[in-house]
């Protein structure tokens, strides 16, 4: 848990140090770029062929919708006023967007499941990103935190369905179940304190 907290907390330190000189949007985009570079390095180390040359347009579109555009919008949003809730809701929305990206990537594996289940999985993978954007425009912090909590549960349920149909490995669902439980406790406490 300490390692997980360090991994999740480190970006906030990075943002605090670099944002005054680059600005919020460029800091956020740099974080997305660094995350993508780390993912590409991991692919190379693992010997995984992501088909970048063949699918670069698709990756660009998905990366823009799931990461670059939401992070830019989240970093420039001025409607959320309470700093702690801002961080919590923004981070929740970003993680939900990334979960959609993970589901999307898993659904694209040609060797996984059937064409029908992959099509449903692709449709499910769009939901977290779009819904996470909407959370930021809800009228009150209480609505935002409650909606984020509900979305984490909904994406977890979608992952269970995807796992039952062979699109997500069981170890991922086990990890998601534990992490989702922790996230729901944190968001539930925040909701109760608002």
Per-residue pLDDT of 13-34, as tens digits, reads 666 667 677 776 677 777 777 7
DSSP-derived letter for residue 112 is: S
pLDDT digits (tens, 9 = 90+) for 67-104: 666 666 655 554 444 566 777 888 888 888 888 877 77
Q: Which residue from 26, 52, 29 is spatially nearest to 39, judged by alpha carbons?
A: 52
Lowest mean pLDDT among 101-110, 134-143, 166-175: 101-110
- Residue 10 is predicted with a pLDDT of 63
Which residues, including other chains, have CB under 8 Å from residue 40's CB and lie 6 or more apart? Answer: 50, 52
Burial of 154 (0-12, 13-18, 19+ CB in 10 A): middle
| CA–CA separation, 190 and 194 (whole Å) | 6
79 Cα distance to chain centroid: 21
- Residue 42 is predicted with a pLDDT of 80
């Amino acid at each position: 848990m300490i390692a997980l907290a360090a991994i999740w907390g480190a970006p906030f330190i990075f943002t605090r140090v670099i944002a005054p000189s680059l600005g919020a949007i460029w800091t956020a985009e740099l974080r997305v770029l660094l995350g993508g570079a780390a993912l590409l390095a991991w692919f190379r180390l693992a010997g995984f062929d992501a088909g970048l040359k063949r699918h670069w347009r698709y990756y660009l579109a998905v990366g823009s919708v799931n990461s670059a555009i939401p992070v830019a919008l989240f970093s420039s949003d001025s409607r959320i006023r309470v700093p702690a809730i801002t961080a919590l809701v923004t981070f929740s929305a970003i993680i939900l967007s990334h979960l959609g990206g993970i589901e999307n990537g898993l659904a694209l594996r040609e060797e996984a499941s059937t064409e029908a289940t992959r099509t449903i999985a692709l449709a499910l993978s769009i939901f977290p990103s779009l819904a996470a954007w909407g959370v930021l425009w809800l009228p009150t912090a209480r609505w935002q935190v409650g909606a984020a909590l509900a979305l984490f549960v909904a994406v977890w349920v979608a992952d269970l369905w995807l796992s039952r149909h062979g699109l997500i490995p069981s170890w991922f669902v086990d990890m998601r179940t534990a992490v989702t439980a922790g996230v729901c406790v944190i968001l539930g406490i925040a909701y109760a304190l608002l």
